[in-house]
């Protein structure tokens, strides 16, 4: 292969935008890699804002990246209804079922999960082929709401609800429910709807457990403005229509 020795000029699509959309990292991460000299095009260090063009030979840490397949890739978003017992991972060494085997195969790129649900949590999981969209939806600075239906085993009184809405100390810092409302139930089993704006690990469970009650069932029903449709059964998915996709992209300023 003959590599160009001409100075790198602009034209095409910005490198950090394209690689972020491909899910190789967030734009900020890719910009940091560029500043650290980890990206080269045609054997020359890349500058921030460089636009990739047809024929450019891209390497990250010396490894060739076939970036052309990510160019002009239409954004897709799936709303997947994850059941209890599935893992949000590519593969599991112990053989547990994983969500990605339930999704349609992509000819280009890969599916990226927007956040995670632990093995015992079910409900809405957004999945996209646009890495930049996924990063923006998960970034703490955006404080995207996540709403859950949660069944509690134990006594819940007004004082406990007030503490959970005001804030309690967990091992990784203070946390609270942004919204908490009773839904249904009598006796020891009651259903609540709760909303949080952080994606911290097992946050909803840990908040309730800090009050010495048990979460016996946890279902995510909403992520931002995207709601889990009643018609979508477990293991199934729904693909956002163009208008819904446009609204989601605008929500994160894309």
- Say if residues 42 and 3 touch (Cβ distance below 8 Å): yes
| pLDDT at site 131 | 86
pLDDT of residue 3: 33
Question: Residue length, the chain?
Answer: 254
Q: Are 193 and 136 in contact (CB under 8 A)?
A: no
- Residue reference for tokens 């503490």: 163
Interacting residues of 107 by C-beta distance below 8 A, sequence separation 6+: none
SS3 135: helix
Give residue 150's pLDDT: 97
Cβ atoms within 10 A of the Cβ of 3, count?
Answer: 10
pLDDT score of 2: 31
Which residues of the chain, if any, have pLDDT below 70?
A: 1-11, 72
Give the active site residues: 118
Q: Which two tokens stand for residue 6?
A: 């001409």
Give the strands of the sheet with 58-60, arranged side by side: 44-45, 39-41, 58-60, 63-65
Look at residue 10 in the predicted model and tell me its pLDDT.
43
């Amino acid at each position: 292969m003959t590599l160009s020795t001409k100075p790198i000029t602009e034209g095409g699509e910005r490198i950090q935008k394209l690689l972020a959309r491909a899910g190789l990292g967030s734009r900020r991460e890719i910009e940091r890699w560029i500043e650290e000299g980890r990206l080269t095009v045609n054997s020359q260090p890349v500058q921030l804002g460089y636009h990739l063009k047809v024929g450019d030979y891209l390497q990250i840490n010396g490894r060739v990246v076939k970036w052309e397949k990510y160019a002009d890739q239409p954004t897709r978003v799936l709303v997947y209804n994850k059941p209890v017992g599935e893992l949000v991972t590519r593969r599991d060494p112990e053989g547990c079922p994983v969500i990605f085997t339930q999704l349609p195969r992509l000819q280009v790129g890969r599916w990226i999960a927007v956040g995670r649900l632990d093995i015992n949590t079910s409900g809405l999981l957004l999945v996209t082929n646009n890495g930049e969209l996924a990063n923006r939806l998960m970034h703490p600075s955006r404080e995207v709401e996540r709403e859950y239906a949660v069944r509690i085993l134990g006594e819940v009184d007004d004082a406990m609800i007030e503490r959970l809405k005001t804030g309690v100390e967990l091992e990784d810092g203070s946390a609270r429910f942004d919204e908490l409302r009773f839904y249904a139930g009598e006796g020891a089993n009651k259903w609540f709807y709760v909303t949080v704006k952080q994606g911290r690990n097992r946050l909803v469970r840990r908040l309730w457990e800090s009050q010495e009650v048990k979460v016996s069932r946890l279902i995510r029903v909403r992520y931002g403005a995207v709601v889990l449709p009643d018609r979508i059964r477990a293991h199934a998915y729904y693909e956002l229509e163009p208008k819904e996709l446009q609204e989601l992209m605008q929500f994160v300023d894309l």
